A and B are shown apart, each in its own frame.
Chain A
Amino acid sequence: MIDKRFESSMAAIADVTDGAVIMTGGFGLCGIPENLIRALTEKKVKDLTIVSNNIGSIDLKEGGAYGVALLFKNRQVRKFAGSFPGPVAKTDWFLEQYKSGAIELEIMPQGTLNERVRCAMAGLGGVYTPVGAGTILAKGKEVREIDGKEYVLETPLKADFALVKGCLGDRLGNLQYRYTARNYNAVMAGAARITVAEVEQIVEPGEIDPDQVHTPGILVQRIVKGEKYEKRA
Chain B
Amino acid sequence: MKKGLDKKKIAARAARELTDGMYVNLGIGLPNLIPEYLGGTEVIIHSENGLLGMGPLAKEGDVDPDVVNAAKQPVMMQPGAACCSQCESFAIIRGGHLDMTVLGAFQVSEKGDLANWQVPGDRVPGVGGAMDLVCGTKCVMVTMTHCAPDGSPKIVKECTYPVTGRKCVNLIVTDLAFIRVTPEGLVLEEVAPGFTAQEVQAATGAELKLASQIRQME
Q: Does B210 contact A (CB under 8 A)?
A: no
Digitize A174-209: 1 where CB-to-B-CB distance is under 8 Å, 0 elsewhere.
Answer: 000011111111110000000000000000000000
B49 touches A107 (CB 8 A): no
A101 part of interface (Cβ distance < 8 Å):
no
In the complex, whether B90 has a CB less than 8 A from a CB of chain A is yes
Which range contains the number of B residues in contact with the other chain?
A: 35 or more
Q: Assuming A28-B72, A110-B132, A187-B85, is B162 touching A84 (CB within 8 A)? A: no
B74 beta carbon closer than 8 Å to chain A: yes
Asked whether A27 is an interface residue with its Cβ less than 8 Å from the other chain, the reply is: yes
Contact assessment for A131 and B132 in the assembled complex, using a CB-CB cutoff below 8 Å: yes
Q: Does B205 contact A (CB under 8 A)?
A: no
A110 to B135, CA, bound (A): 12
Chain B min CB distance to A99 (Å) = 8
Residue-wise, chain A 89-120 has the 8 Å CB interface mask toward B (1 for contact) of 11000110010000001011111101100100
Q: Which chain A residues border B193 with CB–CB below 8 Å?
A: none
For A25, the closest partner residue in chain B by CB is B86
Quick one: CB contact mask for A19-33 with B, threshold 8 Å, 1 for yes?
Answer: 000000001111100
* A-facing residues in B61-91 (Cβ within 8 Å): 63-68, 72-74, 77, 83-87, 90
Q: In the bound complex, do residue B124 and residue A187 qualify as a contact, i.e. CB atoms below 8 Å apart?
A: no
Do B85 and A110 have beta carbons less than 8 Å apart?
Answer: no
* Residue of A with least CB distance to B123: A95
Q: Mark B127-151, 1 if CB is under 8 A from A, else 0.
A: 1111110011000000000000000
